[in-house]
Structure 1
Amino acid sequence: MLKTIILLTDTVQQQQPLANLLREHNRELAFVSALRAQDLSAIDPEILSEARLVSFAADVAVPEKFLLQLGYGAYKFYAAATQYPGLPPAPDETDENPSCYSVIAQSMMIWPDFKKVVGLETVTVPDGTAAAERERLVFTRLAHLFWRMSIMIAGEVTDLPGIIGSVESQRPTLTMMN
């Protein structure tokens, strides 16, 4: 039974609104906050088998061992310019102003072949939009994707259905590594 959501966010201010939204769909959920990989390693391992990790706009590498212990999977919500799907722009290309972004919800797995996209939206930024406004537009769409998927995130489903992903549907386990 899903008992805990581990919220990994970029800022502490994002924690409470995300938890409140998920709590609307499952009042029994407990929440654990994390901002860094060290916060994840401090979580009591006993709760992980009944937990799901949700990374929202956080650029934190999650340890493989941690991912394998989660009973309800891990999902990452992030934005990427379509010119660089899944990757940040190269340092010498940061002065470009991309006009199209994807906001993506993706499973977090230790093996790339098992990852799948569970949510996807596109954001088109009008020409001449200032950088701060572009960031606000993209973040708003990312928050909308999270809101739209919140009922599934807070639910009992062990593995969210993919809209893009491998044909292999079995989640890797610790025994598969041995």
Structure 2
Amino acid sequence: MLKTIILLTDTVQQQQPLANLLREHNRDLAFCSALRASDLSAIDPDVLSEARLVSFAADVAVSEKFLLQLGYGAYKFYAAPTQYPGLPTAHDESEDDPRCYSVIAQSMTIWPDFKKVVGLETVTIPDGTVPAERERLVFSRLAHLFWQMSHMIAGEATDLPAIIGSGESACPTLAMMN
């Protein structure tokens, strides 16, 4: 039975709103907060067999040993420019600023062939948008994706359904992205 959600976030301020949202779908959940890999390693190993890790906008490497101990899997919510899939967002100001981003919910596994996309949306940035506003637009779409999936994240399923599996060669359709 899923008892604990481990929230790995970029900032402490993100923890409580995410926990509150998930608690709306499952009042019995306990939460562990983490900002760094060292926070993850401090979690009691007995908790992990009945836990799910959710990484939200965090750029933290999670160890294979930790992932293998989770009874309900691990999922990462992140944004990536569609021009450079798989690469982190550039933080410098350049003429080549991306205009289109994907916000993605993806399973985290030690076996790359078994990773799957469980949620996907796109956001197009209007011309002339300043970097701070671009970041806000992308982050708000990421939060919206988390909100849409919160009932599944807080649920009992040990494996969330894929919308794009790693073995699939088909490109995502427009319906999948929105």
TM over 0.5: yes
1:110 maps to which residue? Answer: 110
d(CA) in 1 for partners of 2:112 and 2:93?
A: 26
Are the aligned partners of 2:67 and 2:73 in contact in 1 as well (CA < 8 Å)? yes
Q: Which moved more, 1:39-48 or 1:159-168?
A: 159-168
1:134 maps to which residue? Answer: 134
CA positional deviation for 1:167: 4.8
> Does 2:12 align with 1:12?
yes
2:147 maps to which residue? Answer: 147
Q: How does 1:10-159 map to 2 (within 5 A)?
A: 10-88=10-88, 95=94, 96-159=96-159
User: What is the TM-score when the length of structure 1 is the normalising length?
Assistant: 0.91
User: What is the TM-score when the length of structure 2 is the normalising length?
Assistant: 0.91
Give the gaps of 5 or more residues in structure 1: 169-178
d(CA) in 2 for partners of 1:21 and 1:87?
A: 29
CA RMSD of aligned residues (A): 1.5
Query: One-letter code of the match for 2:138?
Result: V
The alignment partner of 1:22 has SS state of helix
Give per-residue Cα distances to partners, 1:38-69, cap 9 Å, x unaligned: 00000000010000000000000000000000
- Tell me how many residue pairs correspond in the alignment: 167
d(CA) in 2 for partners of 1:41 and 1:24?
A: 28
2:171 maps to which residue? Answer: none
CA positional deviation for 1:111: 1.1
Give per-residue Cα distances to partners, 1:88-109, cap 9 Å, x unaligned: 2578x85221100000000000
Taking only the aligned residue pairs, the percentage that are identical comes to 85
Give the gaps of 5 or more residues in structure 2: 169-178
Query: One-letter code of the match for 1:25?
Result: H
1:175 maps to which residue? Answer: none
